[in-house]
Each structure stands twice: as C-alpha cells, then as structure tokens.
Chain A
Amino acid sequence: MERQSINKYLNKDKYVLEGKNSPTFMVLDCQNKDTFNIEIKENQKINLLLLNIKENTKFDFNVLANSSLNLKTVLKGEVKSLNINAKVQSNGDMHVYCADFSDGDVNTIVKIDLSEDNTTAMWHLASLSAKNDNKEFDVSLIHNAKNTFGLSDNYGVSKDDARLVFSGISHIKNGAKYSKTRQNAKIMVFDDLSKAIARPILKIDENEIEASHGASVGKINDESMFYLTSRGLTEEQAKELITMGYLKPILVGFEDEEIKEEISSLIEGRM
C-alpha cells in the first residue's frame, strides 16, 4: 500500500502531522534518529507505520483534540530500550499495535495519558521471547479525565532460556468518572527453563467506573496437547499452531501486505 513518508521533517525538533485524506497513511523510518517528538493536529486521522526502530529510541506523541492516531511497528534486531510517551486530548484516540520479534534484551516503557474527556487508548502487543532474550514491557494507561477508555492487551510466548515480563498500571484518577479500563496479559511458557511474569495492576481513585484485568502464565495443558495430537498433529506442529494462535491476532492491526507477511515469517522463523 502507498504511505506518505514523513522523513523529510527529520531535521525539525517537532513533527506536526496533518493529512489530506481520512485516514492518511504515513510512514516514518526511525533508523537515523533516537528521539522523536510528534504532534497530531486537531481533527486528523493519521495511520502511522514506524520502521527500523533502533537501539534506545524515545517517542513523544501528542494527539490533539478530535484526532485519531493509529500507530504500528514491528520490532526486529537489537532494540534494548524503547520509550513511548503519549498524551491524548479531548475526544482523541490512540491505537498502538506492536509486534515484537527483536533479539536480545528489551526494556519497553509505554505511558499513555488520557488527559481530557472522551479519550481512548488501546495498546496491543504480541511478543516472542526466545533463546536468551530478557524482555520487559511496562505499559501504563493513565485515565485523567471523564469517560475515558483504556485497553492494554498483551500476548506473549517465552521459549528456550528466555524471560518475558508484562507489567504496567492502569490508573483511573480522581475525577475520571465513567471511565473504563481493561488489562490482559497472557504468556505461554514453552520450555522448562523459560520464564514469564505477568503483573497487571489496577489503581482506582474514582467511583462509577469499570475496571478489570486478566492474567495467565502457563504451559500448554496436557489435555489440549492430547487433543491436538489425537488429530494427527505432531507435538511440534501443535506447539506451532498454539504459538500462532497467541501471536497472529496482532496482524489485524497491520494493513500493509508485505508487513503482514514479514510478521508471519518472523513467527515461523523464530519458532
């Protein structure tokens, strides 16, 4: 698909994005810089693909009133640390799809501030931690205003000697009446030495809200394995199918066919 490159603004301190179409498809190649400050103007609908995020990168997003930012990225190679800070203003929304197939250690900290009324933040993560990877994703959604909606949806697979941690706080602050927040963290542990931790935290300082979380960490249960193998799948095929089931749903967030294919082959490759 066609995306408009916004790299030409690379020299400025702050990128101000506005698009002619609704939505406007944009792409940013991040490989030559490590700090980005991006503002979405009012009344915009921006769909932004971040390419080649390198080691130790930091993003600041500011989504102005009545705007929508749909952000997506595939993490590959060495990433080490990734910081995403975002602020969403009145009636704005922000959706993030992060497919993580990076190698080595990653420490990702995401903080989305729903600073004004009627704002939405939705975070979707699929992460595969393998070999000696040590990965942590700390995703916090801060509800600072009325009628805000937050979803933090995290799926992961930990195999070999790897470690994978999902943490973060969904915080409904005083005054954020009628807000809803939801946290999901599910990690499939494959091997005896793989480690996984899910630490969902809800902080609630207001009434008339809805908040929920679900977390599960575990091995494939014997009954599921028996069921799948009793249909003729080998244990390896059954494991692969289950991994696909954990990680593939992230694909719905990506429009570009070549990126979808890349994600599928990364899942298969790292399995």
Chain B
Amino acid sequence: MSKLVIKDLYASVEGKQILKGINLEINDNEIVALLGPNGHGKSTLLNVIMGHPRYVVDSGSIYLDGKNILEMATDERARAGLFLAMQSPSEVPGVSNSDFLRSAVNARLEKPVSTYKFYKALDSATKQLKMPFDLATRSLNEGFSGGEKKRNEMLQLILLEPKIAMLDEIDSGLDVDAINIVSEVINSEKEKGRGFLIISHYARLYDLINPTRAVVMINGRIVIDSDPSVIKRIDKEGYEFIKTELGIEIAKEEPNMNQTSIGSCDVKVKTE
C-alpha cells in the first residue's frame, strides 16, 4: 500500500507564488487525472513533488508512505518511489540511454543488476513500447523526436517501477498509435499496483485509461476532486462552468515576455 499525501502546500517560483494551498491524496492502484487551464500550476505541482530546484516550497507538507519527502533531495525522492515523466525531457549528449537506464536501475538496488537480466528487461520494455532497440543505445534523448522522447519516459517508468508515477502531458506530440501504446502501458503498470497522477489536455488519453478520479486545479488550488465524469464535461464545455457554478474567478494567464533565442555554434559531431 502506497500513499502520497499533500497538505496545505504553498510554493513559488522566482518569487511568485503559484501553488496556494494544495490538498491532495493519491493511492496506489489509482489513476488521478489532473486538469486545469494553462498556467494554473499543474506542472508546478508535479515539479515541486519531484523537488525541482527552481521551485521553493513556502509552507505545507508532502508525505509518501509516512516519510516527509520535502526533507529529501530529488534523487532520494526517486528512490523512495516517485517518478516524473517530464513534459520536455532533457537531452544529455554523450550519455548512452542504456548506460543511464542501468545506472538508474542500479541506484535502487543493493547489488547491481546482471547484464543479462538488465538487457532482458530492456528488450521486453522496448518491445512493449514498440520502440526500435537502437533507441536504447543512442545518446539520452539526443536527436529523439517528440514521440520518441515520450516513449523513452515510459520506458524508464517500466524499468524503474515507481510507487507513484506522475505524467506531465505524456500524450502531447504523440500520434494515435503511440497514444494507444502509452495508454496500454499505463493500464498494465496500474495493474502492478502503481498510482498515477496524470496531466493531459485531451479526453482521448483519459478515455483509454479510465481514471479513477479527476481533480481540477484553478488559481493554484484544487477546486474539484470528484469522480471522472467531470473530464467529459470539461472536454465538452471548457472551464466556464467552474465560474458560473462554483463562483470561482479564473485568473487569465499572464502573457509571456517575447521569447528570444540567442544563437550558438552548432556542436553536432559529423561522423563521416
């Protein structure tokens, strides 16, 4: 039995408070859909749970199976059983995907996994995700397409066997076939007893995985925590009804500054 319990959580990024009193529980064997308009703190919540250094917890608590995870470093949280599939996974040139996966698997074990056992697990997971095996041997996420990166996140989920897995828009950039594959993996991993907290903007993914609950985040708070029927309603009507029925004013996302990009030398190695 695993349980993630978040109480009265307030958190900020660069001096701006984003999370304003989150209360949420996630149990194993549960798929919780996390919905809400852009810019209302969904990704922030996931990053705060995982311990991203950019985010500062102002107050509140997060416990996993009775352990205070706010006192743990990111790697300790991971080894305690948390997993975050990122919206845009980092590219780490030069580090081979399989070396990385093996180190990550070993970080959880007393004795390192045998080469044979590891490659067997890797082979079966790549087949489950219909990934070409060579993706496992290439540089970590480097030159991967959007869809390949997302599948690689799922590959890590399978191999690392977390208690609670958080997926941040795992379906964005995936074609229909890939969404089907990813949802099959979510379903089979749930059967193994994992709990899920899943952000998606699309009802298609939720249709395929049948969440057990849905929560809606507005203005940095959870305003709905209910059965999953609300997903269909949001898909049809948007978030307007929250204002009319619950009387909650939905803050508009502040426009971003113009994004500028600074040119840099091309550092790809040609291999002729």
Q: Which residues of A contact B (CB under 8 A)?
A: 149, 151, 153, 155, 182, 184, 186, 212-216, 221-224, 226-235, 237, 241-242, 244-246, 248-249
Q: Does B137 contact A (CB under 8 A)?
A: no
Query: Are B78 and A229 in contact, CB atoms less than 8 angstroms apart?
Result: yes
Write out the residue numbers on chain B whose beta carbons fall within 8 Å of the beta carbon of A153.
Answer: 269
The residue in chain B whose Cβ has the minimal distance to the Cβ of A210 is: B270
- The smallest C-beta distance from A124 to any residue of chain B, in angstroms, reads 10
Query: Are A229 and B93 in contact, CB atoms less than 8 angstroms apart?
Result: no
Q: Which of B79, B83, B94 contacts A249 (CB 8 A)?
A: B94
Q: How far is the CA of A151 from the CA of B272 in the complex (A)?
A: 9
Query: Are B90 and A234 in contact, CB atoms less than 8 angstroms apart?
Result: no
Query: Are A245 and B160 in contact, CB atoms less than 8 angstroms apart?
Result: no
Query: Are A182 and B99 in contact, CB atoms less than 8 angstroms apart?
Result: no
Q: Which of A213, A224, A232 contacts B78 (CB 8 A)?
A: A232
Query: Are B89 and A237 in contact, CB atoms less than 8 angstroms apart?
Result: no
Query: Are B92 and A234 in contact, CB atoms less than 8 angstroms apart?
Result: no
Pick from A151, A155, A216, A223 the residue with the most CB of B within 10 Å: A223
Write out the residue numbers on chain A whose beta carbons fall within 8 Å of the beta carbon of B78.
Answer: 229-232
- The smallest C-beta distance from A96 to any residue of chain B, in angstroms, reads 16
Q: Which of B77, B94, B267 contacts A245 (CB 8 A)?
A: B94
Instruction: Check A227/B269 contact, CB under 8 A, given A234-B107, A241-B103.
Output: no
| B236-271 to A contact mask, C-beta < 8 Å, 1/0 | 000000000000000000000000000011111110
Q: How far is the CA of A214 from the CA of B266 in the complex (A)?
A: 5
- The smallest C-beta distance from B17 to any residue of chain A, in angstroms, reads 21
Q: How far is the CA of A215 from the CA of B266 in the complex (A)?
A: 8
Q: Does B232 contact A (CB under 8 A)?
A: no
- The smallest C-beta distance from A154 to any residue of chain B, in angstroms, reads 11
Q: Which of B50, B73, B95, B264 contacts A241 (CB 8 A)?
A: B95
Q: Does B201 contact A (CB under 8 A)?
A: no
Query: Are A182 and B90 in contact, CB atoms less than 8 angstroms apart?
Result: no
| Other A-B pairs beyond A228-B90, A230-B75, 4, CB < 8 Å | A149-B272, A212-B266, A231-B104, A232-B75
Query: Are A224 and B94 in contact, CB atoms less than 8 angstroms apart?
Result: no
Q: Which of A222, A224, A231 contacts B160 (CB 8 A)?
A: A231
Q: Which of B74, B99, B103 contacts A226 (CB 8 A)?
A: B74
Q: Does B3 contact A (CB under 8 A)?
A: no
Query: Are A245 and B269 in contact, CB atoms less than 8 angstroms apart?
Result: no
Q: Does B108 contact A (CB under 8 A)?
A: yes
A sample of 15 inter-chain contacts (CB < 8 A) reads A149-B272, A155-B94, A212-B270, A214-B269, A221-B90, A224-B92, A229-B74, A231-B100, A232-B78, A232-B108, A233-B75, A233-B103, A234-B75, A244-B95, A246-B94
Q: Does B53 contact A (CB under 8 A)?
A: yes
Q: Which of A184, A237, A245, A248 contacts B107 (CB 8 A)?
A: A237
The residue in chain B whose Cβ has the minimal distance to the Cβ of A220 is: B92
The residue in chain B whose Cβ has the minimal distance to the Cβ of A236 is: B75
Q: Which of B79, B92, B267, B272 contacts A232 (CB 8 A)?
A: B79
Write out the residue numbers on chain A whose beta carbons fall within 8 Å of the beta carbon of B104.
Answer: 231-233
Q: Does B31 contact A (CB under 8 A)?
A: no
Q: How far is the CA of A227 from the CA of B97 in the complex (A)?
A: 13
Query: Are A213 and B74 in contact, CB atoms less than 8 angstroms apart?
Result: no
Closest 9 CB pairs of A and B: A245-B94, A214-B267, A232-B78, A245-B95, A227-B90, A232-B107, A231-B104, A229-B74, A229-B75
Q: Does B52 contact A (CB under 8 A)?
A: yes
Write out the residue numbers on chain A whose beta carbons fall within 8 Å of the beta carbon of B92.
Answer: 224, 227-228, 242, 245
Q: How far is the CA of A234 from the CA of B74 in the complex (A)?
A: 9
Q: How far is the CA of A70 from the CA of B268 in the complex (A)?
A: 24
Q: Does B200 contact A (CB under 8 A)?
A: no
8 A Cβ contacts from B70-119 to A: 73-75, 77-79, 83-84, 86, 89-96, 99-100, 103-104, 107-108
Q: Which of A227, A235, A241 contacts B99 (CB 8 A)?
A: A241
- The smallest C-beta distance from A224 to any residue of chain B, in angstroms, reads 5
- The smallest C-beta distance from B116 to any residue of chain A, in angstroms, reads 20
- The smallest C-beta distance from A252 to any residue of chain B, in angstroms, reads 10
Q: Which of B84, B96, B108, B267 contacts A184 (CB 8 A)?
A: B267
Q: Does B156 contact A (CB under 8 A)?
A: yes
Q: Does B16 contact A (CB under 8 A)?
A: no
Query: Are A151 and B107 in contact, CB atoms less than 8 angstroms apart?
Result: no
The residue in chain A whose Cβ has the minimal distance to the Cβ of B82 is: A230
The residue in chain B whose Cβ has the minimal distance to the Cβ of A149 is: B272
Q: Which of A184, A223, A246 contacts B90 (CB 8 A)?
A: A223
- The smallest C-beta distance from B194 to any residue of chain A, in angstroms, reads 16
- The smallest C-beta distance from A263 to any residue of chain B, in angstroms, reads 15
- The smallest C-beta distance from A188 to any residue of chain B, in angstroms, reads 9
